[in-house]
Chains A and B, each alone.
Chain A
Amino acid sequence: MVVHHQPIPAPPPYVSPEPFAPYGIAAVELSDEKLVVLGQVADDAELRIGTEVEVVLDTLYEDDDHTYVVWKWAPV
């Protein structure tokens, strides 16, 4: 796994929370499927390369009608 920290917001169509919160992005190797998948790090947890993670569903953003969810990576 490779992880990095994004200290400033991406431009739209990224929907930034208000106020903006820095977020981590991890490249995670799935051992059985043998592929690497990018995802945000849930709760901006402090991850290190080699940490085992699992997929969680977390809020991407909300509007008046819906809460949109997305996959994220969280430490096991």
Chain B
Amino acid sequence: MIASITGIGWVTAAGMGCGRKSDSFSMPAGNLPKITGTVVFGKPYKHFGRMDEYSRVGLAAIAFALKDAGLEKCKKKRNIGIIASTVYGCLHTDIDFFNTVIPDGGLMASPNLFAYTLPNCFLGEAAIHFGLTGEGFVVNDPSHARLTSLQTALDIISWGETKKMVCGVCDLGRPLIFGQGKKVPPGSLFLVIEKSPESNLSTYGELNLDKDDSISFNKTKIADLTSLVNECIVNKNRK
């Protein structure tokens, strides 16, 4: 066993939530729910409204996952890393930013939008809000299984870099201006995985990285991230 899953959080077109309070999970096509700082953090968070949508959607799922794991509160910074996987990343924000550049030859380029034109910026927002100082980066995973961030996070734990990681996916779907390209459902889904669970909350189950690079959950190979989360929820209900 490399790590246990201790928290799950998401924002999808089917709604937002966390593993312990839900009976199923899906990431369908459609419009994402409106997210506010109050909904996510239980109190107004002024800065949340200034973020781009990609960051809000990603940060919200990370917040739900950490809360689900009982790790949302901290007195000091902690060595917890975050790996996110995405297909289109912050391209919607990129388009919004460049549309502020075009009209006046760059004179009205928006610094606030530019600050969010890197797909890893929301990891920084999560790091700031939750005091997470571990390794953090975004990987680009166009595969159907969407398991790259989980696999990378398990690697990092197995290498001894940290004992806790947050990992998952975040996308807003294919920008309309693209016309063609891979269809990806909008939404975010993050898991908290811990080598030695800190909270008294029960875990969802155990993860292992197999020699053939596949991932096992409670000794059964998993096919994709969505089915893993549904298995976690079923497993929780069995306990």
A and B are partners in one complex rather than unrelated chains: no
